[in-house]
Amino acid sequence: MHRLFAALRPPEGIRDALIDTMEDIEGARWQFDEQLHLTLRFAGEVDARTADDLANALSQVSVEPFALAIRGVGTFETKGRVTSLWAGVAPCEPLAILQRRVERACQRAGLAPVTRKFVPHITLARTNASTGPIGGWLADHERLALPEWEVERFWLYQSRLDAGGAQYEPLLAFPLTA
């Protein structure tokens, strides 16, 4: 079985700037450079044949390269408790188009549709009940604005869970083309 997802990988300068925000919250599990990505679609556990079908379907996704920019930060919550901190993405119609085409490719490969609304973000930290206060960090970074970068490809990643958290391995790159 393979645990797969399709994602964008920000360039090194953007990742460095995101890493520079990762401080001042006791107990936050900050992401490593290798973990910084924007998920387009989580496929989950799939067998080898479905993984091949997915790779084939994703190779047929066609979208022109486009610019993307980080704007602001936020949190995700479960049952009123913050579970993660993230950097947001400026509204971008080409990103929405890419995500919808990736979703359709996943469905063509036999995956069930995702019904949750797409919220483009890059996870910066995981939190739990022992994590210190986050309000100061949110206030310090609410106006986070990083330079635009050109998105020229997306990736199919494999995720492996171990005691240290998730390890992400890029498997295939899919160039964006007109």
Alpha-helix runs per DSSP H in 60-165:
93-108, 135-141
CA–CA separation, 125 and 115 (whole Å): 24
The identity of residue 32, as a single letter, is F
Task: Assess contact for 23 and 125: CB atoms under 8 A.
Answer: no
CATH, residue 82: 3.90.1140.10
pLDDT of residue 177: 86
CA–CA separation, 35 and 5 (whole Å): 12
Task: Assess contact for 24 and 127: CB atoms under 8 A.
Answer: no
Report the chain's mean pLDDT, rounded to a whole number: 95
The SS3 call for residue 14 is helix
User: What is the span of the domain harbouring residue 167?
Assistant: 2-175
The identity of residue 99, as a single letter, is Q
pLDDT of residue 166: 80
- Total count of domains within the chain: 1
The residues facing 159 across adjacent strands are 168
Residue-wise pLDDT tens digits, 3-46: 999 999 999 999 999 999 999 999 999 999 999 999 999 999 99
Residue-wise pLDDT tens digits, 45-99: 999 999 999 999 999 999 999 999 999 999 999 998 999 999 999 999 999 999 9
CA–CA separation, 22 and 28 (whole Å): 9
Query: pTM value?
Result: 0.94
